[in-house]
Amino acid sequence: MSFKVPLTPISRPAKASVGKTGLWRFLKPVIELKKCKKCGLCWMYCPDIAVTFDEMGFPHINYDFCKGCGICANECPTGAIKMVREGL
Amino acid sequence: MLMKAVYEIRWHGRGGQGVVTVAQLLAEAAVREGKYAIAIPYFGAERRGAPVVASNRISDKPIRSRSSVKEPDVVVVLDPNLPFMVDVTEGLREGGLLVINAPSPNNLPFKGLKAAVVDATGIALSLGLKLAGLALVNMPMLGALIRATNIVSLESITAVVKNRWSRRVGELNVKGIIEAYNKVQVVNL
Amino acid sequence: MTSRMDVKKLVLTSNYAAAYAAKLARAEIISAYPITPQTTVVEKLAEFIERGELKAKMIRVESEHSAMAACIGASATGARVFTATSSHGLLYMYEMLWWAAGARLPIVMGVVTRAIAPPWNIWTEHADILSPRDSGWLIFFAESAQEVLDMILQAYKVAENEQVLLPVMVGWDAFISSHTAEPVDVPSQEIVDEFLPPRKSAAFLLDVKDPVSHGNLVFPDFYMEFRYLMQRGMESARDIIRKVDEEFGKIFGRRYGGLIEKYRCDDAEYALITLGGSSGDAREAVDKLRENGVKIGLCRIRVIRPFPVQDVVECLSNKEGVIVVERDISMGLCGVLATEIASVLFMNGIQPKFASFIAGLGGREVSVEDFLKMLDFSLKEFQRGNKRVGPHWYGVKEEVIP
């Protein structure tokens, strides 16, 4: 094996060290931007920092890391976020 | 019914999907039928979403080995995305069976395998079998497994599930089992 | 003006000798919690810092568990770290001991050996320092105040060796060493600096500019490899300890013989085995028996971990009989030293006559006369054809046992 263990294990900061956790999802949040009032609650409540804003101030989901927990859909005051089943 | 001395099953799922629980229930049902059975969890990174494994051994004789199942007769896959992350059919015996949660048998990444396919996620969602954002697909997968293998009877499974949970939750879980039992499709991939 | 070869002859207790050693080693971080009979070690160090004689940071903590945790954090930044404890304090930091060793941190700690309660007892016994012998700490044991000073300096050199990188505890006996004042040659800072330059080695470093975290989960598929590496560090340490002792001898003019110290052992038919501060009395007893024509020698264990396997085998392979006298009892078996020596002998196919004594628990004195009685008894039993003697609880007051 070319990989050698160090004397004692250490880890360095890494983005999503368990990989693209979007694979865990079976429901995905879909934002209907027409209903969105840009309040930012989805961004605030997202436990995975998977909500980002575009230059217009609209939220978008980073599906690479969104685990599909549905908290954003639950918090959205205008019902702009729907959880949609994902097929294989 | 048992084809060989020790019948071995390996369950693949994610943390939170109930892999450990379902393996225990299967063992309980087998014991209820007078067989010997054990359920062996593998505790890895104990967090939601991480791939997890559990194993069952079922036999007419006392079971001695507690090590993980390496050459299973059946592999049960609770999450359709797992085959892209883990070699779920590793060591599956010649003529072995894959029981998998998928919306349909089309586009499954396997070839030359006998598979029992059921849309366990769809069944769980339609029945409201959900916990903390995860679809509880373990019960439907148990239903699919026993239909495809006859390893234990539907009656035994129903009994242990109702014994485990209170009336309403027990009924709901049994519904999930029966729906998958009726809907599972056995195909050759 | 002081020259590098200047030596100050001071009358010091082992505790003060330890404080002088930590100062001469230029310990940068000291964290400890007071416990009798260790307290004066850290008091003296606090005094050195207060007077500006030692540039070190003293981290005050609320327990020994925290003291070791502070040492672990400090050592992980690359600092040279010192602490000291005893008995219950050592047991309280037991979990942290394993963290320090597993993290491969070259911390040096003084352990003033003391019995464990109940019944409450502040006097010497080796139960405390022998408890963590599986933890990955190197365990040294000194006999005199001079050896405490020298051993602590050597301990840093061994611990910080790239091939070792493991913490070291240096033990000495409560009161009979810790509070007994005796002459000590205190070397100059210049010459100690030559022997022990600033620490450079580390398995990893905590550095805000290059952040890492330590203490990660390692799954069964790699945990064993890390333990293997610790054991390799231990195995390497044997030779490093011998080399450091040699180098020390060249610079300071004092050598101790490495992992064991042999006294009149080479032509001896019998070997007495001891640990710690009572070994001087054992030496006296050996001399007395020699005067009577008994060919006996002393083998004093200086290093308990790594266990001096080769040294013990070489020393004992040609002996008619071996007598182990120790201040500890592994409840439910026998003395720790006797067990370990018997195991090393067995694994190397050596089968001398063997006597084992538990003596001096809870600080009960083990004097020259006591050694003579135990040796006399053993030799008579050997002569009567008994190959295995004991384990005996020497001097236990049978008349008060219900």
Q: What's the pLDDT score for residue B1?
A: 45
Give the number of domains in chain B.
1
Structure tokens belonging to residue C289: 């028996």
pLDDT in tens, C50-79: 999 999 999 999 999 999 999 999 999 999
Q: Domain containing A75 — which CATH number?
A: 3.30.70.20
C346 touches chain A (CB under 8 A): no
- Cβ-based contacts of C104 with chain A (< 8 Å): 7-8
Greatest distance between any 2 Cα atoms in chain B: 42
Q: How far apart are CA B36 and CA C186, in angstroms?
A: 73
pLDDT in tens, A55-77: 999 999 999 999 888 999 999 99
pLDDT in tens, C196-214: 999 999 999 999 999 999 9
Residue C375 lies in a domain: yes
Residue C1 lies in a domain: no
Residue A27 lies in a domain: no
pLDDT in tens, C254-276: 999 999 999 999 999 999 999 99
Q: How confident is the model at residue A2 (pLDDT cuts 50, 70, 90)?
A: confident
Residue A28 lies in a domain: no
A69 touches chain B (CB under 8 A): yes
Residue A23 lies in a domain: no
Q: How far apart are CA C53 and CA C235, in angstroms?
A: 37
Compute the residue count for chain C.
Answer: 402
Report the 10 Å Cβ neighbour count for B43: 10
B10 touches chain A (CB under 8 A): no
> What is residue C238's three-state secondary structure?
helix
> Which residues does chain B have with pLDDT short of 70?
1-4, 45-49, 132-133
Q: Domain containing C66 — which CATH number?
A: 3.40.50.970
Sheet of C321-326, strands arranged across: C260-263, C296-301, C270-274, C321-326, C353-358, C388-393
Give the number of domains in chain A.
1
Average pLDDT of span C376-399:
97
A53 touches chain B (CB under 8 A): no
> What is residue C133's three-state secondary structure?
helix
* B107·A70 Cβ contact <8 A: no
Task: From C203, C225, C252, give the residue that closes a domain.
Answer: C252
Q: Domain containing B138 — which CATH number?
A: 3.40.920.10
> Would you give the DSSP letter of residue C336?
H
| Co-location of C186 and C311 in the same domain | no
- Cβ-based contacts of C103 with chain A (< 8 Å): 8
Residue C243 lies in a domain: yes
Q: How confident is the model at residue A87 (pLDDT cuts 50, 70, 90)?
A: low
Residue C44 lies in a domain: yes
Q: Pick the residue from chain C with its C-alpha nearest to A10.
A: C214
- Cβ-based contacts of C204 with chain A (< 8 Å): 6-8, 10
Q: What's the pLDDT score for residue B46?
A: 58
Q: How far apart are CA C185 and CA C183, in angstroms?
A: 7
Percent of chain C at pLDDT above 90? Answer: 97
Sign of the dihedral defined by the CA atoms of residues C382, C385, C391, C395, in that order: negative
Residue B1 lies in a domain: no
A72 touches chain B (CB under 8 A): no
**More confidently predicted of C312 and A15:** C312
Task: From C252, C279, C312, give the residue that closes a domain.
Answer: C252
- Cβ-based contacts of B133 with chain A (< 8 Å): 67-71
Structural domain that includes position C308: 260-400
Residue B117 lies in a domain: yes
* A69·B133 Cβ contact <8 A: yes
pLDDT score of C2 more than 60: no
> What is residue C214's three-state secondary structure?
strand
pLDDT score of C159 more than 50: yes
| Co-location of C218 and C296 in the same domain | no
Q: What's the pLDDT score for residue B2?
A: 46
Q: What's the pLDDT score for residue C6?
A: 87
B121 touches chain A (CB under 8 A): yes
C373 touches chain A (CB under 8 A): no
pLDDT in tens, C276-311: 999 999 999 999 999 999 999 999 999 999 999 999
Structural domain that includes position B24: 6-188
| Co-location of C225 and C272 in the same domain | no
Q: Pick the residue from chain A with its C-alpha nearest to C222.
A: A5
| Co-location of C172 and C277 in the same domain | no
| Co-location of C266 and C212 in the same domain | no
| Co-location of C19 and C97 in the same domain | yes
A7: nearest CB among C203, C211, C213? C203
Give the number of domains in chain C.
2
- Cβ-based contacts of C165 with chain A (< 8 Å): 7
pTM for this structure?
0.88
Please name the helix (run of DSSP H) or strand (run of DSSP E) that holds residue A37, with its range, or none.
none
pLDDT in tens, A38-53: 999 999 999 989 999 9
Cβ atoms of residues C115 and C121 within 8 Å = yes
Question: Read out DSSP for C155-208?
Answer: HHHHHTSTTT---EEEEEETTTTTT--EEEEEE-HHHHHHHSPPP---S----T
**Of C42, C1, C52, C51, the residue nearest C18 (C-alpha):** C42
Report the 10 Å Cβ neighbour count for B140: 32
Structural domain that includes position A80: 35-85
